[in-house]
Structure 1
Amino acid sequence: MGTSPSAPDRILVNGHILCVDPQFQVVEAVAIRGDRILATGPSSEIRALAGPDTTIEDLGGAGVLPGLIDAHNHLLSTGQVLQQVTLYDCRSIPEILDRVADRARTIRPGTWIIGRGWDESLLAEGRHPTRWELDRAAPDHPVVLHRVWNKLVANSAALAAAGITRETPDPPSDQRYSGSFERDPSTGEPTGLFRDRAKDLILNAIPAPTADELVAAVAAACRAYNAVGLVGVAEPGLDDDGIAAFRTLREQGELTVRTLMLLGAWGYVPAEREADLKSWIADVRSRPDEADDLLRIDGVKFMLDGGIGDRTARMDVPYMDEPDNVGQWVVDPEEYPHLVRWVHDLGYSIDTHTCGIAAQDLAVRAYSSALEAAPNERIHHRVHHAYFPSADAIALMARHRIPALVSNPFLVHLGESFVASVGSDRAARAMPMASYLRAGVPLAGTSDSPIADFNPFVGMYAAVARRTVVGRDLAPAERISRADALRSYTIWAAAATSDAATRGSIEPGKLADLIVVDRDPLTVSDEELRDTQVLRTMVGGRWVWERTG
């Protein structure tokens, strides 16, 4: 038992507390002083530490876990999406249109309707909705509906607001990842579908959110995240306005999710911003920052390639039925290693989006070269998505302790689109978590929300079940254990960002971040694991969320 000479402020007793420490202990009680854990152990021994002002809370046998961490999660964007039309569970175009029409009835004509989450591979029609279908649902509103990833559809009012007609030229083909918009082959009229960076033609017409709206989005996401047990994220891809929103909420005392902010950089930001990125990143680096356990600037986000479902991830072989398509580079593959070294030498960690095998190989080689040339124990470069590693990539990741930030819920929600793009055999091998662990590659669970469900218990379910939303099993041999799934959202997630000394487990001296849950995630069925309910969430020794009713 760990102890302190000072009496605790709070003691929790009579619980089933999974510490997720090196011994994977289960204890009954925990003592807390300030924002730190003082001691863990049997209820009788921890009670004995109480002073006259100590609050003692009886958990009644409830389960307790370390607060959960998502190592790649767009919290700000998710907060915005929470206010929009959500389409993730839609399985037909009429369902999508009904939700758009419902929103249109509640807001003034002319107000933009934004939504997200459709996936043509899960729609009965097997296609995207068109501008004309959206026109019928909301004739008096501009409408923009994002796919789960990398495409959007817009109605005629949105096209008009953006000045898009059939005379609008296609995006320049010589610009990397410039994208395209679909035209009706008989008339040349845009159908409303926009891909890749061509989406900006529409997005630039949407009024920018105000500073207050950004702060409100962060606050909304914090509440939603605390409700599912999240107490920490790495937020990849912020600009100055996003950073300011987090800082404002922190100053107001309402930031209840520990946030590591990554600067949006090459591939992730609009192409016209890339020329100024070096001066911006260097300037941000020189500014004073909070740099504490609640909020800090942690690194830089690259987006090296596209995605599997939309067939833009950079692969080694062509996509199904597209013999000339092996995906795209979003960042120049010749320039990328030099950019990595430049950021590395600034002392920043890097999170690179890599979906295709060629992209992951390039990122891992660039990281390895930088780490070998200029070792720095404070830097933790990582690869996100990490779908299809080569044997060489796995070996280098193990040697240099480069974490694979796997986007677990994608297996459930996007798995069918993977099958449509690369075939069932290869899709089944996406995110080979068991193989990573056997090879000694660090692993962390992520959602990449708002692309997929931010609920970590859905992510844990995905890791142990590897089953798509329609019931297809994906490489059962790559399933991982319940304990490892829990580690991937706690201590391993903390380790991926160099924070394992202070977070990720319930141990004396660490931050008092924990959650109370209604079941034991190690013993319930897969489906019950997915449906775990959080009863209370504590951040830094303070209860920040409690289920009511």
Structure 2
Amino acid sequence: EWRMPHKTYPGVDGKENYLNAVKDIIDSKEDRTETVLIWGYHKSWHGDLTLKELDRVTGDVPTIIWQRSTHEIYLNTACAKKYGVQKGDLSKEDEEQADWDNYHFWERAYQMMKGTKLSPFFSDQKMLKRGMDRISKMMLQNGLTAMCEPSFPNSVFADEYAVLLEGTEKAKAYTVFLIAGFPEQFVKKIGNEAYAAHIDSLPGKFNTEYIKFLPNQYKTFADGAIYSLALQLRKPFYNCSTCKSEWIVPLKEGQQIFNFWWDKGYKIHIHITGDLAFEKYLDFVDAAMKRNPRENHRTTFHHVGLFDAAQAQRAADLGVEISANPYYLWALADKYSETGFGPERAANMVALKEFTKRNVPVSLHSDFAMAPAEPLLLAWVAANRIVASGKVMNPHERISVYDAMKGITITAARTFEMDSVLGSIRVGKEATFTLLKQNPFKIAPEKLKDIPVVGVIYKGKVFLNEKK
């Protein structure tokens, strides 16, 4: 199931159950010309999806199926027709990540479609404002006082910024930190020097009390999404003939991008999910350090689904830091034990003890909606390694409650270079923190996720959840 402030959405398992659920959503729509977006599809739960099957349950209602990873989409025929999606829209290179027979687009092809032909939908102000209102409620409900979005914008800058501006000014209870990155630069085909000038201009043009563009930071991407089973692995996929590893940014281009921002002195954030991608980008850091050494560069690998002890040691030696999504373990370990990873790799997902015992800074993030935006839930998974079936996977890789709580506070602030302002209670820092009903250090680790959030103090002002 998926919990939002306004509603809890039940989960669906099995192909026919999924198609029936899609049909129920479509049948509930009065305006059959309005585009419908349905998120959450995953072949491990719902089977393969064809255009014929999608058209059968959606008919003439334009429909976008947004895969669980948000790295791929499926369109029905009505949607492709409405937005003029047709062969020839993509470059030869991006065509490699498209299946036109099923209007299925992933990674770069998805980014290009989302930023061009489908941008009128993904930039729809009415839809985005509704989502922003829900996010504001969720922020308070879950005790969040700051969010960071690396690689902003996801679609059209002006449209997304307008929604953030209105939503944050209305809430006045949290700060949004934004980092520019590859998706916008890729879709707009902007050169590196021009994009660096663009990044430099953002704080002066767009910063407000509640929105902060972060200078001298850049987000790039390595391999495909773990939820799509498109990550780059050192060993083949397990029991999955249709699984295919992808590079979002091809390696040669990836190293060129990395080196440019490294030489500019930027902090670099990198989307990395598989152990092969982890290895390749360690090589990039290693080569850059030998060519142009930098102290305290804080290069951060984000997500990190799979890696081993030797790679963790290399990361420590090279000064690489980690921002992990521990929820992968809870959500995927059971299914990926059977298909994708196999039992051994699935049990060792997001093995964060390998970093904390080597004093590598580790923050925890949701990458919402790759995990619920519930920091205590993330800390709970990292400290317990309990998965959806209730099993405990590789308990020796559990991190301490102290490290888990640091991961959602001070180290989280460090990840986006705001630890001098946020993340701990200290004279001279912003009076921004979360109010909990119980002390996380005085209860059993298994109960971390169940601690009630009373509210927040944001810049010295009190915001309480209802009935608290």
TM-score w.r.t. the length of structure 1 is: 0.72
After superposition, give the CA deviation of every residue in 1:258-294 in whole Å (9 maximum; x if it has no partner). 22211131xx458553454542332231455339885
What is the aligned partner in structure 2 of residue 511 from structure 1? Answer: 430
User: Could you tell me whether the CA contact under 8 Å between 2:136 and 2:167 is conserved in 1?
Assistant: no
What is the aligned partner in structure 1 of residue 214 from structure 2? Answer: 297
After superposition, give the CA deviation of every residue in 1:496-518 in whole Å (9 maximum; x if it has no partner). 23322222122332211122223
Pairing 1:499–2:387 present: no
1-structure distance, mates of 2:192, 2:452: 42
Q: 2:368 is matched by which residue type in structure 1?
A: S
Taking the TM superposition and a 5 Å limit, the aligned residue runs for 1:353-372 are 353-370=271-288
2-structure distance, mates of 1:251, 1:324: 43
Pairing 1:540–2:462 present: no
1:221 to 135, 155, 158: 135
2-structure distance, mates of 1:98, 1:328: 30
Q: 2:38 is matched by which residue type in structure 1?
A: G
More strand by share: 1
More helix by share: 2
Aligned residues with identical type, % of pairs: 19
1-structure distance, mates of 2:452, 2:277: 37
Structure 1 residue 416, shift from structure 2 partner:
3.5
Corresponding residue SS for 2:33? coil
Pairing 1:91–2:13 present: yes
After superposition, give the CA deviation of every residue in 1:71-130 in whole Å (9 maximum; x if it has no partner). xxxxxxxxxx9799986722244256336524652541211111212323234xxx0455
Pairing 1:101–2:101 present: no
1-structure distance, mates of 2:118, 2:190: 23
After superposition, give the CA deviation of every residue in 1:225-272 in whole Å (9 maximum; x if it has no partner). 22101112221111333663376348836453322211131xx45855
| CA 1:287–1:140: 2 relative to 1, 3 Å | closer
Taking the TM superposition and a 5 Å limit, the aligned residue runs for 1:48-447 are 89-92=11-14, 93-94=16-17, 97-98=20-21, 101-102=24-25, 104-123=27-46, 127-135=47-55, 137-149=57-69, 150-162=71-83, 175=93, 178-181=96-99, 183=101, 190=102, 193-199=104-110, 203=114, 204-205=117-118, 207-208=120-121, 209-210=123-124, 214=128, 217-239=131-153, 240-241=157-158, 244-245=161-162, 248-249=165-166, 252=169, 254-265=171-182, 268-269=183-184, 272-276=187-191, 278-289=193-204, 290=207, 295-298=212-215, 299-321=217-239, 327-370=245-288, 373-375=292-294, 377=296, 379-419=297-337, 420-447=339-366
Structure 1 residue 468, shift from structure 2 partner:
2.4
| CA 1:109–1:332: 2 relative to 1, 3 Å | closer
Which region of structure 1 is more displaced relative to structure 2, 524-533 or 510-519? 524-533
Q: 2:143 is matched by which residue type in structure 1?
A: G
Structure 1 residue 519, shift from structure 2 partner:
2.9
Q: Of the two structures, which has the highest relative contact order with CA contacts closer than 8 Å and spacing of 6 or more? A: 1
User: Could you tell me whether the CA contact under 8 Å between 2:145 and 2:174 is conserved in 1?
Assistant: yes
2-structure distance, mates of 1:330, 1:501: 33
2-structure distance, mates of 1:351, 1:303: 8
Corresponding residue SS for 2:302? strand
| CA 1:450–1:179: 2 relative to 1, 3 Å | same
1-structure distance, mates of 2:352, 2:308: 13
Listed as ranges, the gaps of 5+ residues in structure 1 are 1-80, 184-189
Aligned residue pairs, count? 453
| CA 1:136–1:537: 2 relative to 1, 3 Å | farther
User: Could you tell me whether the CA contact under 8 Å between 1:409 and 1:447 is conserved in 2?
Assistant: yes
2-structure distance, mates of 1:533, 1:256: 19
2-structure distance, mates of 1:94, 1:518: 39
User: Could you tell me whether the CA contact under 8 Å between 1:351 and 1:382 is conserved in 2?
Assistant: yes
User: Could you tell me whether the CA contact under 8 Å between 2:436 and 2:452 is conserved in 1?
Assistant: yes
1-structure distance, mates of 2:223, 2:142: 31
1-structure distance, mates of 2:57, 2:85: 20
| CA 1:270–1:247: 2 relative to 1, 3 Å | closer
Q: 2:387 is matched by which residue type in structure 1?
A: T
Corresponding residue SS for 2:135? helix
2-structure distance, mates of 1:386, 1:455: 19
2:382 to 443, 463, 466: 463
Q: What value does the CA root-mean-square deviation take over the aligned residues?
A: 3.6
| CA 1:211–1:323: 2 relative to 1, 3 Å | closer
